[in-house]
Each structure stands twice: as structure tokens, then as C-alpha cells.
Amino acid sequence: MSSVIRVEELRKTYRTGFWMRSVEAVRGVSFEVAEGEIFGFIGPNGAGKTTAIKMLTGLIQPTAGRAWIHGMPAQDPDSRARLGFLPEGTFFHEYLTAREFLHFHGALLGIPRAVREERIPQLLARVGLSDAADRQIRRYSKGMRQRAGLAQTLIGDPDLVILDEPMSGLDPIGRKEVRDIILALRDEGKTVFFTSHILQDAEVICDQVAILLHGKVVQQGYLDDLLGQEISGAELVVEGIDEAAFQRLSAMAQRAVVQGPRFLFEVDDENDAEKMLEQVRESRGRVRSLVPRRRSLEDLLVEDVAREGRS
């Protein structure tokens, strides 16, 4: 199976300032993105995400290592023929309307006007900007700008979309809108590579993630493999128990919280949860919910940071 993106031991060392101090922005990163996948490249600010994207899109040369898009070297302009790219903090032609902005970019790609006339309203609709299509972008909210940017990356009907921080600076609703657009792209069979410093964004939509810290990938793989099997305990919510039962249950749990008429217990071992269920029944209490607690990406990252700190 051929990968849409393949990166091997990619490195970038910047030399800056009068003393040419070196900054190792990306330190030997390797990964592969298969067709039709959503790949999240996740890490805090300064981790090296944008630098890696610049190498993927041929904007800068790697210090070492190689990158391929659709099997072609990333330096080869042909590798970008089927690529849509949203740079970080996209520059907008503020005085254009979204419709004009899309025509402008479509024309740059050599898309005939007749095709643009048909495609642009569809694109505006899919990013929820139909009503604002003829308003100048300078009057747009951050979320609308981001969606206009997304529409621009899609104007050439690419198979691969690379998005640098598409959810950055958006409120939860704006983030969800962008996530939904990304999911819809995957449904159409497109491959999406995006960066984010917000772990939850990745957790909700990614097939595969790589977590980058200080230029190095510290966790990588399919979310199902990274998090799926590992159920770490459970969360039990009960009501209608008396003080004595509460004490007995608390003794079995790692954490007990009183929430008005309800009691929440967290256990690290699922078997304990079973025993607690029996206890609740004996005490004639009611179980409101029993939810297995999956390991989250955040747990993983916290472990990684702790490990980094130790080494």
C-alpha cells in the first residue's frame, strides 16, 4: 500500500542571529499517512509542527531526512498537484469577499471560470458561509475566516489536505465546525493532515496521531492502538445509599465525591467496580451510570512529559 505522506528521519536545524545559534526545530521525525486517513500532528507551541509542514510542502529544505507526497519527493512541485494547504494564520485579502477570494485562488490554479462558478457556491455552503459569501472578509469572525481558509484549500478538489492549526483561536463551537468539515472530507475519501496544540481535537477525529515535543515524536500510532484497549478503571455514579453504604463504597474506591443526592466513585480496577455494584444492590441503592474510563491522549502526553523530565 502506498502512503500519501511519508516522512523519514526528517530534521531541521535553524541558524539564527549574529552568532548563528542553532535551533533544532525538528529532530528526526518519521511517519506515514495512509490514504483516506485523518492524521493529527499534535504538540505545544514551538514543538516543530509548522517547521515539519514547511518541509512537507516544499517551502523549506530539510537539514536531513526525506519527505514524499504521493510517492514524489516533497521538493518536487508535482507532489503538490493534488494538495490543498492551509498555512498557519492564513493571510487574507481583507477587502475581498469570500466569493472573490475563492475565485482569486481558483484562477491562480487555472480552474476555468465555468467550473469555479459551479464549485464555489458548493464550497461556501459546505463551510457554512453561503449567507456571508458577499461580505468582505475583514468583517468576518475568526471562525468564519478559518472556514474561508478551509474553502480555499479545497478549491482545487485536492486528495490531500494539509492544515496548520485549523482550530487555533476558535471557540468550542467553531472548533466543532472545523472538525466536522475535516470528518466530511475523510468521508469523501480525502486524506487530512492537520496540526493542533489541543489534544482533544485529535482525540475526537483522528485515525492516527503523532505527538511532538521539542522536535521529537514521543507518541505515535493509531488512536485505537494507543488508547483503545487500555481501559483504566471506571466511574460509578449511584444514589439512594445511606451513610454506612457510602463509607463501605468509599473504602473500595480510589476517589469518592458527593454530588448533591448522587455519589461518584472512581476505581482504577474494573473488578472493583463489579464488587461495588453488588454492594450498591445490597444497600438498595440505584446505579445511575457505570462508565469505563479509557486512557486519554492527555494521560499519554502527561506520561511523556514526565518521562522527558526524568531523562
Ligand X SMILES: Nc1ncnc2c1ncn2[C@@H]1O[C@H](COP(=O)(O)OP(=O)(O)O)[C@@H](O)[C@H]1O
For residue 45, the minimal CB distance to ligand X (Å) is 4
For residue 50, the minimal CB distance to Mg ion (Å) is 3
Binding site partner of 23, from ligand X, Mg ion, none, Cβ cut-off 5-8 A by kind: ligand X
Q: Mark 79-98 with x for binding to Mg ion (rule: CB under 5 A) and - for no binding.
A: ---------x----------
Q: Which is nearer to ligand X, 7 or 236 (CB)?
A: 7
For residue 5, the minimal CB distance to ligand X (Å) is 17
Q: Which three cell numbers stand for residue 216?
A: 521529537
214 burial (CB, 10 Å; 0-12 / 13-18 / 19+) is middle
Q: Which residue is nearest to Mg ion (CB)?
A: 50
Q: Which is nearer to ligand X, 150 or 212 (CB)?
A: 212
Under the binding rule (CB under 5 A), the answer on residue 196 touching Mg ion is no
Under the binding rule (CB under 6 A), the answer on residue 40 touching ligand X is no
Q: Which is nearer to ligand X, 14 or 222 (CB)?
A: 14
- Which residue among 4, 29, 38, 47 contacts ligand X (CB under 6 A)? 47
Under the binding rule (CB under 6 A), the answer on residue 92 touching ligand X is no
